[in-house]
A and B are shown apart, each in its own frame.
Chain A
């Protein structure tokens, strides 16, 4: 096509005619406009980049002393003497913490409510409908502040509920007794979790072996033994010393009430968690309901005709098929929940966004900080997407 155009172009004698050839050639016209546009874009990008470089970029200011405290630290230790990187990292951990716990409970709530919405029981289906319609249509920020104010109505710390010394309930936090270890406790729990996942994989792998008529011990038993062996071996290697950690409420010499120990659920964390779970749960409810309703009614009827119970019908026939259309929009909701967790800036929960804002206010350098926040949220989102895509591939394989 280009050679054709070139031939025509050369065959013309005058410049005016040559231009005319180009002017009336459709593909050249398109190319010319795109060429102009891309030149404009390149110049514009170059301008933006050169502007950005005239500002002071770089993360040098993050190495200096933070100088401010954080109310919530989880796994990582942080004091105001640490660098701003330390503060930022604490914020990242807090964001991941609230997002993961939120995703877990929102999924649970969404599936239960989605099934309830389809129930033939009038009360159950209406409760679910009311939940969805009420909470889906109010702003999340207001729900967060609402939950914070509700949780502040718990008794003040001076008359905290102690339930006979096993738990402390006040508006500084709800402390529950847990079993913990003096050292390496969280590391051991992490190892146990990883081992659990590994043994689940092992179990499905062994099941496949069994299907191919290989004589083998019960796969269930083998994977349980695998889990126990790893658990016990690491127990002794890490020197785990389990003891019960019962929360206490003490008064120090100046009359300050101090609650410590156990598993602490602070009002700030609880408020952002409740709001995120309840809000995202409404969308998941609708996704579950929609996916189930999109299945042909024949699937239900066939399951009933086979004499399956309601529980069997849902877990063996309906949900596995519905999962195919549930997971892609569910991924979206998980990403939304993670991003919405940055609203916790309103209620004193130090997530990554709040910590970054404090750093920006103290040290300036807003552009690099915003870039860092974007990278952080992008990584979190990509990680969730990756995980969900793997899950999706597994689910869509079922029954094919």
Chain B
């Protein structure tokens, strides 16, 4: 008798657990289907933007002493949130490692990825991402000690260079040195910490990685002026935000927020004068950018699916491209003048397509 009762209990609990599992999966699939195609609608529903970032790269994305995320990439997360939700504070930051970043985006864990990520063909196509617009034109550089007297790659003949193993950086390094017939010894480390120790103790003469990364590491040294990043660039590394493939609504918004910030700088709109510009635009172009009517006319709507005056929120809460650059990257020693990141009018590559 007892045996039968036990069996009955087992059967009933099994049935119950199956029911629970089915209910859960059903719920999951329904929420999946609503968020799958249109991330922009999901963000508006949720009232928050989930942004994948770096938390360990000074100037680009780092947690400050107050526990807040700050940096160049972080400001673009804020700008997108300000454009979509009207509030730059409505962002949830998800710190990601370099190897986990693309999977996190593909698995819907984050809405957009802004984590000093280089735009390459394989990442754009194979990994199923869409790169919006480059926000920073980086390149592989070489850091040496100021006392060493090196001024070019050619002068580093016979030196030892520290590099991370298995990276494209390692291959670019060899292309540059061996290609020019310059003798050198590569010392390849698995992680950055032992590499930094070896560089600081003089085990190697140079340290090569992206220039922005070098500037960031340089700023972290006790006396940054003891170290110099050589002028030469060994490779092209355009960094920018990316979304999932076939997520056009969000993709267009992110792309045009970036372009809008560049255009604002070009038009002389800053976070301090944006409200006066919006109430009394000096020309039709500025009126179109800020989503207001010119001379009593109707504001133009580009159909992004968000407020027409989204650029006002972005510029007033975050600032234009130049302001963001100025506050995060200039302190690292990454000057804009003469670099690829200058406005196109000044010989750089920062160029926004027309806002019309």
Footprint of B on A, CB under 8 Å? 67-71, 79-81, 145, 148-149, 152-153, 156-158, 171-172, 252, 254-256, 258, 267-268, 345-348, 350, 354, 357-358, 360-362
Q: Check: B160 CB closer than 8 A to any chain A CB.
A: yes
Contact B166 A69 (CB under 8 A): no
Interface residues on chain B, size class = 20 to 34
Chain B contacts with A in 163-207, Cβ cutoff 8 A: 165-167, 170-171, 174-175, 177-178, 184-191, 194, 197-198, 201-203, 205
Closest 3 CB pairs of A and B: A361-B166, A156-B202, A152-B201
Minimum C-beta distance from A380 to chain B (A): 22
Among A79, A157, A255, A346, contact of B190 (Cβ-Cβ < 8 Å): A346
The DSSP consensus for interface residues of chain B is mixed
Among A69, A80, A347, A354, the one with the most B-chain Cβ atoms within 10 Å of its Cβ is A69
CB distance from A324 to the nearest CB of B (A): 42
Chain A hits for B203, CB < 8 A: 152, 171-172, 267
The answer to whether B149 touches A71, judged by C-beta atoms less than 8 angstroms apart, is: no
**In the complex the two chains form, is A362's CB within 8 Å of B194's CB?**
no
In the bound complex, CA of A358 to CA of B159 (Å) = 22
Report the bound CA distance from A331 to B159 in whole Å. 41
CB-CB under 8 A from A158, the residues of chain B are 202
User: Shortest distance in angstroms between B145's beta carbon and chain A's nearest beta carbon?
Assistant: 10
Point out the residues of chain B lying under 8 angstroms from A357, CB to CB.
165-166
Known: A71-B185, A152-B197, A347-B194. A254 touches B202 (CB 8 A): no
A71 x B186 contact (CB < 8 A): yes
Docked Cα-Cα span, A157 to B197, in Å, equals 15
Task: Please tell me if the beta carbons of B202 and A80 are within 8 angstroms of each other in the complex.
Answer: no
Contacts of A81 in B (CB 8 A): 178
A67 touches B157 (CB 8 A): no
User: When chains A and B are docked, how far (Å) is the Cα of A345 from the Cα of B149?
Assistant: 32
> Do A69 and B155 have beta carbons less than 8 Å apart?
no
CA distance A357 to B149 in the complex (A): 35
A and B contact pairs by CB, cutoff 8 A, 23 listed? A67-B171, A67-B174, A69-B174, A71-B160, A71-B188, A79-B178, A152-B198, A152-B203, A153-B201, A156-B202, A171-B201, A172-B203, A252-B157, A252-B158, A254-B155, A254-B156, A255-B148, A256-B158, A346-B191, A347-B189, A348-B165, A348-B198, A358-B166
Residue B93 is within 8 A (CB to CB) of chain A in the complex = no
By the criterion CB–CB under 8 Å, are A68 and B174 in contact? yes
Given known pairs A254-B149, A254-B156, A354-B165, the reply for A348 and B205 (CB within 8 Å) is no
Q: Write the residues of chain B forming the contact surface with A, with a CB cutoff of 8 angstroms.
A: 148-150, 155-160, 165-167, 170-171, 174-175, 177-178, 184-191, 194, 197-198, 201-203, 205
Residues on A with C-beta less than 8 A from B202 are 156-158, 171
**Complex formed: what's the CA distance from A252 to B149 in Å?**
12
| Neighbouring B residues of A157 by C-beta, 8 Å | 202
A362 adjacent to B159 (CB under 8 Å): no
A172 and B160 contacting across the interface, CB-CB below 8 Å? yes
Given A255-B149, A358-B188, answer yes or no on A156-B201 (Cβ-Cβ < 8 Å).
Answer: yes
Contact B186–A68 (Cβ < 8 Å): yes
Contact partners of A254 in chain B: CB under 8 A: 149-150, 155-158
Instruction: Give which listed residue, B170, B194, B198, contacts A358 with CB less than 8 A.
Output: B170
Q: Which listed residue, A152, A258, A348, touches B158 by the CB 8 Å rule?
A: A258
Q: Which residues of B contact A69 (CB under 8 A)?
A: 174, 177-178, 184-186
Asked if B158 contacts A71 (CB within 8 A), the reply is no
Shortest Cβ distance from B168 into A: residue: A362
